[in-house]
Structure 1
Amino acid sequence: MKDHHITIIGIAGGTGSGKTTVVKKIVEALPPNYVAVVPLDSYYNDTTGLTDEERKAINFDHPDAFDWKLLIEQVNELRHGRAVEQPTYSYLISNRLPETIHVEPKPVIIIEGIMTLINRKLRDMMDLKVFVDCDPDERLIRNIQRDTIDRGRTVSMVVDRYLKVLKPMHEQFIEPTKRHADIIIPQGGENERGISILCKYIEGLIKKD
């Protein structure tokens, strides 16, 4: 598969904004097996050489937490029609797992994550840049729902982390990347009309290729 047949889409937005919902709708709108999803969350730095305390102190909402070099290398491989072994990451141990996910190149590659649009080299590889916008209160509610169920945190722990880490990191690093977006989806994953328009735009973009 030659690179000019591959469309690369970057989808960014704050934690709890509904990025996963947007990605799911795009996948559903396109033909089966047409999309490969590359989650930014899979590319946190390898912390094998750190102690447990050092791992727990990692700020996962800072750009330095990600292995941008590996991500860019693997997206580039996919863009040139070569399969990659995508890393997997565990929040429970704050480190990569030994297992990898085999990802084959597809006509559409979606890179999804909170800071997908922050790295210039990565942005330059994208044919379309999307920012999923959402009210802060809505994002907090979704974080509470997710983290209490999936990550074993209490409501007070989630709110404390939101105020001390998520909110300031969002304002400093994530919100400013909105200016790089070609398309902004207001109201996050709840905006069915906006997502539908985005899907139709992507379909048209692919047909042009």
Structure 2
Amino acid sequence: MLIIGIAGGTGSGKTTVARSVIEQLGPDKVTFISQDNYYKDQADLTMEERLLTNYDHPFAFDNELLIEHLTLLKKGQPAYAPVYDFTDYTRSATKTVQLKENRIAIVEGLFVLYDEKLRKLLNIKVFVDTDSDVRLLRRVQRDMEERGRSIHSIHQQYLATVKPMHEAFIEPSKKYADIIIPEGGHNEVGIHMLTILTEKYLTGGGNWPAI
């Protein structure tokens, strides 16, 4: 199995890049995994306690479980990812997503390149690099439309945790990337290049092609 890791700041276009690559490769060939589903379970905390969690820090994620699931997929075994409820700030107690063993897996998330143990499982490491103003506007739109957040809460969270955590953890992880794609989903050349590289790797029997 070829595992592609796609990291980048909030609103950078990571998901758009991942979806575009999947569309070009063929959905039946790719298993998509969102690191967002691997936020730690907080069912044992009160809502007040959940609201105090720094969701923009690497420690908010259960990377051990993500690594366990990727290891299962590499062995040809399915895994079941949790589903995170952004309204209740914890995992769903009833829903999971089956991750099927496939020729390709794409793991997308803020801290995909931050954890050394996770990086070692990745065959291709990608960082989506987008201007901070653009990322902020995209986050505002997403959080208001999809997660029911107010502009006030988004503003507070951005200044308190999103921006400083990006500068402390996400931006420095760019140095681990094999490929940097500026402007996310708008960079058709970068997406096409990543797609071709992936196809050549697979047709080459798991060996890197001459470029």
TM-score, normalised to structure 2, is 0.93
TM-superposed deviation, 1:155:
2.4
Of residues 125, 139, 145, the one that matches 2:141 is: 145
Alignment of 1:20-169 (within 5 A): 20-98=15-93, 99-169=95-165
**Matches of 1:160 and 1:62 in 2, distance apart?**
16
Q: Post-superposition, which runs of at least 4 consecutive aligned residues in structure 1 deviate over 6 A?
A: none
**Matches of 1:37 and 1:53 in 2, distance apart?**
32
Provide Cα deviations, 1:35-67, integer angstroms capped at 9, x if missing partner: 001110011111122121111111111011011
Aligned to 2:12: 17
Aligned residues: 204
TM-superposed deviation, 1:69:
1.1
**Matches of 1:92 and 1:36 in 2, distance apart?**
26
TM-superposed deviation, 1:156:
3.2
**Matches of 1:113 and 1:204 in 2, distance apart?**
25
Task: Give the RMSD, CA atoms, in angstroms.
Answer: 1.1
Matched position secondary structure for 1:46: coil
**Matches of 2:163 and 2:40 in 1, distance apart?**
22
TM-superposed deviation, 1:186:
0.9
Q: Would you say the 8 A contact 2:20–2:185 is kept in 1? A: no
Q: Would you say the 8 A contact 1:140–1:159 is kept in 2? A: no
**Matches of 2:21 and 2:106 in 1, distance apart?**
9
TM-superposed deviation, 1:31:
3.0
Aligned to 1:186: 182
**Matches of 2:51 and 2:157 in 1, distance apart?**
13
Letter in 1 for 2:61: F
Letter in 1 for 2:13: G
**Matches of 1:32 and 1:111 in 2, distance apart?**
14
1:207 paired to 2:169: no
Q: Would you say the 8 A contact 1:8–1:108 is kept in 2? A: yes
Letter in 2 for 1:54: E
Q: Would you say the 8 A contact 2:11–2:135 is kept in 1? A: yes
Letter in 2 for 1:146: R
**Matches of 2:129 and 2:17 in 1, distance apart?**
11
Letter in 1 for 2:179: I
Matched position secondary structure for 2:28: coil
**Matches of 1:31 and 1:114 in 2, distance apart?**
24
Provide Cα deviations, 1:150-201, integer angstroms capped at 9, x if missing partner: 1222223322321221110100010000000000001222212221122111
Letter in 2 for 1:97: S
Matched position secondary structure for 2:33: strand
